[in-house]
Structure 1
Amino acid sequence: MQISLEEINKKNYESVCDLDVTEAQEDYVACNMWSLVESFYNEGHTCKAICLDDKPVGFFMWVKESVSKVSIWRFMVDKNYQNQGIGRKALTLAIEAIKQTPGIKEVEICYNTTNPVAKDFYSSFGFQEIGMDEDGDDMLALIKL
């Protein structure tokens, strides 16, 4: 089982757009198609397909917020590939890729506090909660590199 992060291109974008989470997770994850459109029209957005043996099974989008901080805005694994360790491996790869950006000292992620797995999952990577976002909707968590 080979997990990788790959560029999204004309060969795989439809497969990425077709990925979906479980019905119970829909409130926690934005649409991949919308995320790709958003990234196209805004600077500093990086989108990656999470691939299992070259087949897209998930999606990442992170945004360079400042010269020293990147925020992970989107992260999902398709419902048919969850609970196999793919998300854990993919997040490890994403953090390693983000670390390659010169000057980056912090990686931030936010999640809905009602998401039953988010806090434990992200804290296992070293993300520490720093408080609610400016809208008061989602918890912000940060890793200092």
Structure 2
Amino acid sequence: MGVLLKDIDETNWQECIFLTTDPEENHYLVEKYVASNAVSIAQSKIEKGWVTKAIYSENIMVGFTMYGYSEQDNCFELCRIMIDHKFQHQGYGRKALSLIIKEMSKNKECSEIYVSFDPENHAAQKLYEEFGFKNTGKIVEEEIIYCMEL
């Protein structure tokens, strides 16, 4: 199962915005643990520094990610990572996270990566901790802030 990151462009943006973590396939601006892909793509066009990628398994889009430099928070951040509900619990998030960290570490200015998540999202917490992210003890907008040093 090869996982890769591809740019969001005119060929795949519509498919990307209809991915959802909701098992009933409802679409919300803010889903249970993550902003919608449509909101994220819009944000990336307004705020400089964000990279948006579709997560693929072979030729099937399984998820979305947004990462880069947050001018607002003055740090490198994994802002969004989501796997469509049909593909969760199959290892795609883990493989995608590995690729994202690898991509972010190519930037010589990036010495740490921050991520935030809902305290009730235990799957995300477990995954980030497996990759070496540590709890900073900070909570912003009701989300726990973790950091990984590169």
Q: Same fold (TM over 0.5)?
A: yes
Which residue does the alignment assign to 2:12? 12
Normalising by structure 2, what TM-score? Answer: 0.88
Which residue does the alignment assign to 2:78? 72
Q: CA RMSD in A?
A: 1.9
Tell me the percent identity.
29
1:75 & 1:93 partners in 2: Cα distance? Answer: 12
What are the residue-to-residue correspondences of 1:1-145 with 2, within 5 Å? 1-23=1-23, 26-65=31-70, 69-135=75-141, 137-145=142-150
Change beyond 3 A, Cα 1:134–1:26? closer
Cα displacement string for residues 32-79 of structure 1 (whole angstroms, at most 9, x for unaligned residues): 00110110111001101001112211000013036x831111110000
Which amino acid counterpart does residue 17 of structure 2 have in structure 1? Answer: C
Normalising by structure 1, what TM-score? Answer: 0.91
Structure 2: unaligned runs, 5 residues or longer = 25-29
Which amino acid counterpart does residue 106 of structure 1 have in structure 2? Answer: E
Structure 1: unaligned runs, 5 residues or longer = none
User: Structure 1 runs of 4+ off > 4 angstroms?
Assistant: none
Please report how far the alpha carbon of residue 23 of structure 1 lies from its aligned counterpart in structure 2 after TM superposition: 5.0
